[in-house]
Chains A and B, each alone.
Chain A
């Protein structure tokens, strides 16, 4: 495609020729012919974007706030020079360039390669994709330009930050002799073999004992000894109301950080952790332990977005049957705009669960972005205090989490479970 310069040169050339003819002036005509000849000669060789692009990332998964090292290798696979080629690697706007640059102007000989290296800071959790690579080929005198893309994407997941939680902050009300898993002689989730039993629909295929099947001709599954682990249930509020505050500091971000940190803490203790995220719907990750579960949890938390208005009681009603008896439940919610929270908490406590409500103070987050009159703030704060007091009265441990408060500091308010 012609650039503006080429169009002006061509139009100017034609105009000069015509005016030159009109007023019988040689110089104008020759200047016009020279302009047109310039365009014609330059049209013979134009730039191209016939290049191979490879992108390497330093990691597939990162934690929020970490740096991502990116290397883009551009190789000219054609038999001609690229001329002036501008390469621009499209990066998500949430990521910030920390060092280097995601673009370069180059002129590659046939077979030649160039590397663009840059470092991105990832300040927001989420699932991201780097790419495509935009190319803009020009000729030397900027008379023609061609824009194209190389559809090359690299996916990356930015996990929420993990904060250190000290053991002392999570003291048990009924101390265990050993932390983590202890094998019990009853069937259930665990690692040691317990017995064989007949296959029933719904059993995972990986548990089928194929040797027993070959021997008996009937499908048999392995049963494991139940590990006496604590099954921790985390209920994360991702309703639309959780977006209040700034992009980096809002109830949802803090909830994700706390969920990830708690999950990390308990999984390292070899406990089982389940996660339920409710917003416009309910997504539930059943309790399990190990690195795989940790990865699943972090991936789920990375993709959480604020939307919907599902009440907590709908969540507890649908999940209470799945909760292990007496297991601790963490509800991480600002408790704003949901009148069912006290009833849901009462219900859980009534079923024998240790309920802890970690509640980021949404009013204080709102203050970060908009000015709230002092009187209104005081009234709203009082309303919130009453709400939390009601929850505490229902038998839950309640933590009022202020925006500038560290997670460990906030957890100090809870008196164990």
Chain B
């Protein structure tokens, strides 16, 4: 039935000065978006450092590779030690390259927001610099040599020697780039809003973990001989758990680190993809909707919800994984405490062998129980009840009498 229908509101009419809209220029500076991007960046760095500290440092890190190359060529590589981290111990080797990776990723993200013409110019400049750096000295010395000797000839050995430095430089940079690939692509993906780059960062990390897992498989590791011995391996035997919740020791420090890597991967993925998804949605809205306070308010709701869920649900995921991994020990402790029988001890000895079916079955049993619990405990209603009791500062905006002229 026909009734009075208000026209679409417009922040310029209702919001006064400093009114918010869903234009990308403004939205990119909104605190929720910046927080999500910062969370994603922190997760990326933490994930990288965690992976590096667990698998790479002192085992297959870039400084060891650089040392081997320097030994092979009998000379220093062009990149300075202060930059590569050579000569430092432990994670100290990765701090400067990490900053370098973040800078390169940030630079690439910045480049992505320039005009196509500017991007083309910068890329062209970079390629020309690379070519000049690679063969510039050779061509210059070779041509001047031919000019002064007034002779048409091929470059001699001393002139070809000038290629060594740029080639080594490029090789060092490529090695560093490969080591820093997750950081560079991740940073570019988060701040340059590129899904592909984020997929590269996650994919590279997972592929690395996969290859590492295969190479450290005892059978293959044995075949690799001295090379295989260099790989950092995780103990297949679980030691006594030291980290836990509610008085129960659930996981070892080693397992906790691995859980941290898994959770950080998910935090990075969900935050960075979330930002892109919301910005894409805002970008596709027509101009009138970008200026509509209703859309702005709902975007706030979505972003706040995403932030809360990123922290809450991924935190719960970490806890659930910890409990799942330590569930067998909880069960055994309960049985032992209640029955006090020898049986619990015997089962414990057999089940505590790591990677046994027992651990996996108990963990999956716990997760299945958690999944089934949703049918018995009305989480959503409980949460809704809490939410409805919380004071709300969001008011329903009325139609108002704000009239604007629509353009066709």
Contact = CB atoms under 8 A, between A and B. Distances in A.
Contacts of A56: 3-5
Contacts, number: 209
Contact of A106 (B286, B289, B302): B302
A81 B306 contact: no
A118 B316 CA distance: 41
B5 A57 contact: yes
A17 B262 CA distance: 13
B213 interface: yes
A30 B370 contact: no
A257 to B, nearest CB: 22
B363 A100 contact: no
Interface stretch (B61-69, B144-152, B165-173, B382-390): B382-390
- Interface centre among B214, B304, B380, B406, by most chain A C-beta atoms within 10 angstroms, is B380
A20 interface: yes
Interface stretch (B189-197, B318-326, B343-351): B318-326
A71 interface: yes
Given A34-B263, A81-B305, A24 B217 contact: yes
Interface string B272-303: 00100100010001101100101101110110
B370 A41 contact: yes
A140 to B, nearest CB: 4
A117 B259 CA distance: 47
Interface in A41-63: 41-46, 48, 56-60
B383 A28 contact: no
Given A104-B298, A106-B301, A37 B317 contact: yes
A26 interface: yes
Contacts of A114: 294, 297-298
B288 A80 contact: no
A131 to B, nearest CB: 14
Contact of B209 (A28, A33, A79): A28
Given A80-B381, A84-B305, A109-B387, A42 B313 contact: yes
A60 B374 contact: no
A98 to B, nearest CB: 7
B367 interface: yes
- Interface centre among A30, A83, A106, by most chain B C-beta atoms within 10 angstroms, is A30
Contacts of B313: 38, 41-42, 140-141
Contacts of A110: 384, 387-388
Contacts of A390: none
Contact of A104 (B295, B373, B396): B295
Contacts of A70: 5
Contacts of A37: 317, 320-321, 324, 367, 370
A27 interface: yes
Contact of B384 (A33, A69, A80): A80
Given A98-B406, A106-B301, A111 B8 contact: no
B312 to A, nearest CB: 9
Interface in B309-336: 309-310, 313-314, 316-318, 320-321, 324-325
Contact of A27 (B261, B270, B299, B383): B261
A305 B314 CA distance: 58
A44 B254 CA distance: 29
B92 interface: no
B245 interface: no
B234 A34 contact: no
B360 interface: yes
B30 interface: no
B8 A100 contact: yes
A107 B301 contact: yes
A69 B7 contact: yes
Nearest to B397: A115
Given A21-B355, A27-B209, A80-B387, A117 B6 contact: yes
B8 A117 contact: yes
A79 B388 contact: yes
A50 B298 CA distance: 17
A45 B213 CA distance: 34
A105 interface: yes
Given A30-B258, A40-B320, A84-B302, A57 B367 contact: no
Given A21-B360, A71-B399, A117-B292, A40 B371 contact: yes
Interface of B: 1-9, 54, 209-210, 212-214, 216-218, 234, 236, 254-255, 258-259, 261-263, 265-266, 270, 274, 277, 281, 285-286, 288-289, 292, 294-295, 297-299, 301-302, 304-306, 309-310, 313-314, 316-318, 320-321, 324-325, 354-355, 357, 360, 363-364, 367, 370-371, 373-374, 379-381, 383-385, 387-388, 392, 394, 396-397, 399, 406, 408
29 contacts: A20-B355, A21-B355, A23-B217, A27-B234, A27-B261, A28-B209, A33-B367, A34-B266, A34-B318, A35-B262, A38-B313, A48-B380, A60-B1, A69-B5, A81-B387, A100-B286, A100-B288, A101-B289, A104-B298, A107-B305, A110-B388, A111-B388, A112-B394, A114-B298, A117-B7, A117-B8, A119-B8, A119-B406, A140-B310
Given A80-B380, A141-B313, 5 more contacts: A25-B217, A35-B262, A101-B285, A101-B288, A109-B392
The 4 tightest CB contacts between A and B, nearest first, are A80-B384, A34-B262, A79-B384, A37-B320
